[in-house]
A and B are shown apart, each in its own frame.
Chain A
Amino acid sequence: MSELCFLSIAEAARAIAARDLSPVALTEAFLARIEALDGTYRCFVRLRAEDALADARAAERDIAAGRYRGPLHAIPIGLKDIVDTAGIGTENGSALDRGRVPDRDAACWARLKAAGAILLGKLQTHEFAIGGPQFLEDGSVRAANPWGRDRYMGGSSSGPASAVALGLCMGAVGTDTAGSIRIPAAYCGIFGHKPSHGMVGLAGIAPLSATVDHAGPMTWTAEDGALMLAAMAEPVRALGPAPDLATRPDGDLRGLRIGFARHWHSEDIPATPEMAAALEDAAGVFARLGAEVEEMRLPDLGEATACNTVIYLAEAFAHYRDRLASYWRDWTPTARDRLALGALVSADDLARARQGRDESMRAFGVAMAGFDLVLTACVPQVAPLLSATRGLEHIYGVVEGPAFDAAFNLWGAPAASICSGFDAAGLPLAVQLGALPGRDADVLRAAIAYERVTPWRDRRPAP
């Protein structure tokens, strides 16, 4: 039965629509796999096995009666546990919210539920999406990396990335303030898409920063990410008409112009030779698919990361200041220490960061003139050893230097992490594909085409 867990959403949806696949059998397969593996990998914080099965039975009845809702109908998914679910515990990865049960669904979950998705359960997150990894007494962490349990799984959407890679759910919702969808996606070898700002509603999601927070799909394939995003997206007028993301592209990328920002990983943050080679290979694949690939330069990475970090730390502190002051001892040290730094951001520094954001966004627009997409590194190396993420250096990493991901948060621009191979030890490599705000469909179209002509989606972690 576990082979059902390795179907893509697109494959399962076709079979469900044709009534060749029972929603109940599909959900049962995932629950069995969770039962077998989640004790080791700890992706889920809350499982709703009986309720999910009841939902699957209802979906089966509806579909049999001709009430098929579309490609998300009866698809088993998970939600990062900072996404509110009415009547279902949502604890934000924090002891402060132990026992919290929201009375309303987050906007993105309401849309997925209306599309017929079945919620298997809630998935691990770093505390309030900022404090992690959280080590257990035995030195392990929750939501282990399925490619190597001694490896960091990335964060803060750690549970979604690990669960999707392991085949414990077909897709998941993650959130991303400075790379929290794309980094765990890269480390766990899945597809993660941070949409344009505003494309997916943030109501009902624990905030860090209204300016640079995003929610988006985390899936095994880019096509599945497109299907989920189509169901999650708000009909936001500023973004123009919702792109027909579910359209199956033919894989021909002729006419698409892709800038290759090689300087990010060759000058700004040196990538490992294997990661750099994966980027060159990806550029070659896009060219063979018909895209025009040309080297270009993006705005200063250090400035963009600095602006993003200062803005989100200041906004996050404003949101959590009362709970920090009142419950200091109840926070995990990583979360509270990072959040408290926001208290020290002066009005002058915040103004500089906001001005810098405006300038960086303008510069991004100029850099993208003549290009539809930009290819960059997503992470400089494969998933690091967990031991390297323990202690102060990990906290410092947030406040000190540039990273490949935060610039797209600052710009409100779509960016996806795409698995682009494996290193000699079998750990996933990744590239990042971005575009101007509102051009999510181009990112997804190119990512889908790339995955179809590369073998990387055929390889799953062996737990």
Chain B
Amino acid sequence: MTRDEFRAALAQVGIAPEVEELEDMYAAWQRMESGHLMVLRRDATAGAG
């Protein structure tokens, strides 16, 4: 998810953080994507194989 997609997804649920806040939140989201979500997606891929 790009930064713009991230901002748009938050805006869709009515959340519009300041620019600096958005940077921190996007960094956290990237860590989640490379952490927990990658684990889930990897396992789903392995299961499909």
Name A's B-contacting residues (CB within 8 A): 302-303, 305-307, 309-310, 321, 324-326, 328, 333, 337-338, 340-341, 343-344, 349, 352-353, 355-356, 392, 395-396, 399-401
Which residue of the partner chain, among B29, B36, B43, contacts A305 with CB atoms under 8 Å? B36
* A contact residues around B9 at 8 Å (CB): 343-344
The answer to whether B36 and A341 have CB atoms under 8 Å apart is no
* B contact residues around A333 at 8 Å (CB): 21
The answer to whether B25 and A337 have CB atoms under 8 Å apart is yes
* B contact residues around A392 at 8 Å (CB): 24, 27-28
The smallest C-beta distance from B24 to any residue of chain A, in angstroms, reads 6
The smallest C-beta distance from B14 to any residue of chain A, in angstroms, reads 3
* B contact residues around A341 at 8 Å (CB): 25, 28-29, 32
B contact residues, total (Cβ < 8 Å): 26
* A contact residues around B10 at 8 Å (CB): 340, 343-344
* A contact residues around B19 at 8 Å (CB): none
The answer to whether B27 and A344 have CB atoms under 8 Å apart is no
Complex Cα gap A435–B19 (Å): 46
Complex Cα gap A395–B31 (Å): 10
In this complex, the member of A307, A333, A344, A353 whose beta carbon has the largest number of chain B beta carbons within 10 angstroms is: A344
The answer to whether B40 and A349 have CB atoms under 8 Å apart is yes
Rank and list the top 7 A-B pairs by shortest CB-CB distance, nearest first.
A325-B14, A400-B35, A306-B36, A399-B32, A306-B39, A352-B40, A396-B31
* A contact residues around B43 at 8 Å (CB): 303, 352, 356
* B contact residues around A303 at 8 Å (CB): 39-40, 43
* A contact residues around B14 at 8 Å (CB): 321, 324-326
The answer to whether A399 and B35 have CB atoms under 8 Å apart is yes
Complex Cα gap A352–B28 (Å): 21
A-B contact list, 16 entries, CB within 8 Å: A307-B40, A321-B13, A324-B13, A337-B21, A340-B17, A341-B28, A343-B13, A344-B6, A344-B9, A344-B10, A349-B41, A353-B40, A396-B31, A399-B28, A400-B31, A400-B34
Tell me whether chain A's interface is mostly helix, strand or loop, or mixed: helix
Closest to B44 in A: A352
Interface residues of B in 1-49 (CB under 8 A from A): 1, 6, 9-10, 13-17, 21, 24-25, 27-29, 31-32, 34-37, 39-41, 43-44
* B contact residues around A349 at 8 Å (CB): 37, 40-41
Closest to B16 in A: A328
Complex Cα gap A6–B36 (Å): 42
Complex Cα gap A392–B26 (Å): 11
Complex Cα gap A309–B29 (Å): 13
The answer to whether B37 and A306 have CB atoms under 8 Å apart is yes
* A contact residues around B44 at 8 Å (CB): 352, 355
The smallest C-beta distance from A450 to any residue of chain B, in angstroms, reads 33
The answer to whether B31 and A344 have CB atoms under 8 Å apart is no
In this complex, the member of B6, B27, B40, B44 whose beta carbon has the largest number of chain A beta carbons within 10 angstroms is: B40
The smallest C-beta distance from B32 to any residue of chain A, in angstroms, reads 4
The smallest C-beta distance from B40 to any residue of chain A, in angstroms, reads 4
* A contact residues around B13 at 8 Å (CB): 321, 324-325, 343
* B contact residues around A309 at 8 Å (CB): 36
The answer to whether A395 and B28 have CB atoms under 8 Å apart is yes
- With A321-B13, A340-B25 given, is the CB distance from A399 to B31 under 8 Å? yes
- With A340-B10, A399-B32, A401-B35 given, is the CB distance from A356 to B25 under 8 Å? no
Complex Cα gap A355–B44 (Å): 9
The smallest C-beta distance from B18 to any residue of chain A, in angstroms, reads 10
* A contact residues around B24 at 8 Å (CB): 337, 392, 395
The smallest C-beta distance from B4 to any residue of chain A, in angstroms, reads 13
* B contact residues around A355 at 8 Å (CB): 44
- With A303-B43, A306-B39, A344-B1 given, is the CB distance from A324 to B15 under 8 Å? yes
